[in-house]
Structure 1
Amino acid sequence: MNESNSPDPNRPHAASSEPPPLPPHAQAEPAGSAPMRWLRRLLLTVLPFAGGALIGLILRTVFNGEPGSAWAPMLTVFILIAPVAIGAVTVYLAERERARRLRYHFFAPWLSVTLCMAGSMLFMLEGAICVILIWPLFAVLGSVGGMIMGSLCRWAGWSKTPTVYSVAVLPLVLTLLGVGHDEPRRIERTERSVLIHAAPETVWRNLLDTDRIRAEEVDRAWMYRIGVPVPLAGLTHEDAAGLTREVRMGKGIHFRQRSADWRPGRYVQWQYQFAPDSIPAGALDDHVEIGGRYFDLIGTRYTLTPRGGDTELSIRMDYRVSTGFNWYAAPLARWLIGDFSDTILGFYRHRAEAGAAA
């Protein structure tokens, strides 16, 4: 064997017509692979949120019955379990791709819940008012579902976590068994007062007859900010039965306030009367309709108390809340009614003081 042909480790390699191979991590990738990798990452990022929202939309489509029916969306089993299922599916799909942190388990379901509600509005399953009112509860329960599923993924492993999909079936099973159909009645009362620099006669006059109400006079109330049409006018006439106040609001809403218990310049107790056409279709969400199955205004009382040359105007509003989750709906209604009471008292104060100055 010719030793001259053997390689010498101490000599530099001779020049070659082909470059040495690159390390694996530095090799050029096939054309088009970078966009495909980017698209795959995008799909894996979006999939958990799309999957969670889809589960919620499917459940909302099933629970789309009339108020009081066996498949009404206001049933407790839907309100409490659907968002948990949304959160659980979101985290499950994310954990299949890679492990996530606790912060992801808690906050990721919020986006799925938001997408689900946006889809409900898009397909006209839900109105904006209900979406705004229920979103905080759905977000919290979605986080609960996400945290539970995140813990199961760490503890049980993938072989057992597909049972997450049984959570979506749970509302259907419970509804068929008649669970969660209760709608207990809860009567609430809200009272507010304001001091008006005007005589009781001036306040009384504005209290009975108010025309050409401008949106900027009342729209700071959250009730109107979330979509309830603002009032336009309230005019009163007297007949043999007492006082009748004709109220007109935006979107064609109109109704009557009747009173058989009143004293000029001192107090008036209004009861509400709604005709079949008082609230046109689409003007309010079915779930927050006044006089509906889940909410009603029982009565409103205004009391005027002279305070020297001024007047203390007080309002007392009695209302009913009837849901299987009154622990959430009643405080929410109390806040909205209280905020409305403050706003309407401020409106009458402004009108009366302007009239007194004139």
Structure 2
Amino acid sequence: MNSKVNWKGLFYGIAYGLASRAVFALEDFRYLRTEGEPLFQTYGLMTMSFMFLVPFVIGLITAYHQDTVTSSRKIAMITMPFYAVVGLIGISVISGKEGIICALMALPVFLFMALLGGLLGVHFFERNRSKAHVSLWLILPFALAPLENHLGLTERIFTEHTTIIINASEQAVWDNITRVSRISETENNGSLFQFMGFPRPIEAELDTVAVGGIRKAIFARGLFFTERVTQMEPQRILAFSIEADPNSIPPKALDEHVLVGGKYFDVLEGRYEIEKINPNQIVLHLSSQFRLSTRFNFYSGLWSKLIMRDIQENILKIIKQRSETYQIKEAANKV
């Protein structure tokens, strides 16, 4: 009997999660209007109400079906919220409603909040199992979403800086950062950002090596960015602003919530700097500046910096490999 109750709580938790996701994804019920205004709004998936409160309530739902807290039920108390979240996210990805990128970014906070809801809920419902209390928790995310919207989005600018030591001359490295010839799939290492579904870099074309020059960075799946050179010192500095038009990005290139140039995320500029150690060795610096506009930049910022660092390190490794190969060939030709 207890086993059935546990699984019942799991299924209810998944069902609540899927229903909540469907409602929040609508953002507003445009077919329900009063005097031209939406009758009810949830303001989307990128809200604290959905990201933090919905998984918390999922944990409470699974806890509601734990009759007592005994040693034999502690495993179920911990695992039911976990399975409910995995089921929710798994179904969302398999059905095509959610991309792998956003699913992986949401998973840690979903798991934490669901487990927290489960642990607190078991003790709470042990004392009071009133259905009225449960109902109040079920509607809490939807009730707080409109209030949350009044706070607005918080914009924050982040900078990510990466370096690599390259055993090559300044000229060899300079040639490989101003124009990046086509990158093969074997050169792209199995990086985190590619595993998460970000398009891999293919090539970069620069029309003129001068301030005002246009550099076109091309990625897989039809994704490209227009970069305008803002600072240029030969064999030392190449800096550029990054212009992304969300309307020109193919629909399947990026998840809508991490769309470059979109409402929540944008990459603003990039900068290469060559630091000479000796005639045949340099340190190449690559930094980027990007914008986040969410209500939980404290969390999304961690993921964004991790992904940007991974992307930059992948690019630096490609430049290192190419520059050092070029240097070896040059040395061999001189002999």
Deviations 1:78-118 (A, max 9, x none): 1110000111112213439x996334323321110111112
Q: Separation in 1 of the partners of 2:147 and 2:153?
A: 16
* Distance in 2, Cα, partners of 1:237 & 1:252: 20
Equivalent residue for 2:114? 142
Are 2:8 and 1:47 aligned? yes
TM-score by length of 2: 0.86
Shift of 1:277: 4.8
Query: What residue number does 2:31 align with?
Result: none
Q: Which has the higher mean CA deviation after the structures are superposed, 238-247 or 295-304?
A: 238-247
Distance 1:277 1:294 in 2: 15
Which residue matches 2:288?
Answer: 317
Aligned equivalent of 1:348: 319
Q: 1:211 aligns with which of 172, 178, 181?
A: 181
Question: What TM-score does the superposition give when structure 1 sets the normalisation length?
Answer: 0.81
Aligned to 2:166: 196
Q: Which residue in the other structure is 1:334 paired with?
A: 305
- Quick one: structure 1 residues 176 and 195, their matched pair in 2 at CA, closer, same or farther if it must change by over 3 Å? closer
Between Structure 1 and Structure 2, how many residues are aligned?
Answer: 316
**8 Å contact kept, 2:173–2:319:** yes
- Equivalent of 2:21 in 60, 63, 76: 60
CA distance in 1, matches of 2:149, 2:134: 21
Q: Is the 8 A contact 2:85 2:110 kept in 1?
A: yes
Q: 1:100 to 1:65 in 2, by over 3 A?
A: farther
How many angstroms apart in 2 are the aligned matches of 1:101 and 1:134?
27
Root mean square deviation of aligned Cα: 2.5
* Structure 1: distance between partners of 2:12 and 2:246: 41
Amino acid at match of 2:8: L
For residues 300 and 161 of structure 1, the distance between their equivalents in structure 2, rounded to whole angstroms, comes to 55
Query: Offset of 1:45 from its aligned partner?
Result: 4.9
Decide whether the 8 Å contact of 2:210 with 2:229 is kept in 1.
no
The answer (yes or no) to whether the contact 2:66–2:122 under 8 Å persists in 1 is no
CA contact (8 A) 2:172 2:326 kept: yes
Out of 219, 235, 247, the residue aligned to residue 265 of structure 1 is 235
Q: Measured at CA, do residues 278 and 100 of structure 1 come closer, stay the same or move farther in structure 2, by a change above 3 Å?
A: farther
Note the residue ranges of structure 1 that are not aligned, 5 or more in a row: 1-39
Per-residue deviation at 1:235?
1.5
Q: Displacement of 1:341 after TM fit?
A: 2.2
The 3 A distance-change label for structure 1 pair 304 and 251 is same
1:125 aligns with 2:97: yes
SS in structure 2 at match of 1:299: strand
Distance 1:201 1:110 in 2: 53
Pairwise CA distance, 1:339: 2.5
Contact between 2:43 and 2:149, CA under 8 Å: does it hold in 1? no
Relative to structure 1, the CA distance from residue 58 to residue 66 in structure 2 (aligned partners, 3 Å threshold; closer, same or farther) is closer
1:242 corresponds to:
212
Native 8 Å contact 2:274 2:282 kept in 1: yes
Measured after TM superposition, the shift of residue 216 of structure 1 is 3.4
Identity of aligned residues (%): 25
Post-superposition CA distance 1:290-341 (Å, at most 9, x none): 1111111111110012221212110111111111111111122122222222
Q: Which amino acid aligns with 1:332?
A: W
**Per-residue deviation at 1:178?**
4.7
**Greater gyration radius:** 1
- Measured against aligned partners, the alpha-carbon deviations of 1:145-192 in whole angstroms (never above 9, x if no partner) come to 101111113222x3x255223222111111234557531111111112
Cα distance between partner residues in 1 of 2:209 and 2:287: 25
Q: Give structure 1 regions of 4+ aligned residues with deviation exceeding 6 angstroms.
A: none
| Alignment gaps of 5+ in structure 2 | 29-40, 330-335
Three-state SS of the structure 2 residue aligned to 1:242 is: coil
- Equivalents in 1 of 2:104, 2:184: separation in Å? 24
Separation (CA, whole Å) in 1 of partners of 2:139 and 2:160: 40
Measure the CA separation in 1 of the matches of 2:251 and 2:195. Answer: 20
Give yes or no for the alignment of 1:101 onto 2:62: no
Matches within 5 A, 1:27-46: 44-46=5-7
Superposed, 1:221-232 pairs within 5 Å as 221-232=191-202
- Give yes or no for the alignment of 1:279 onto 2:267: no
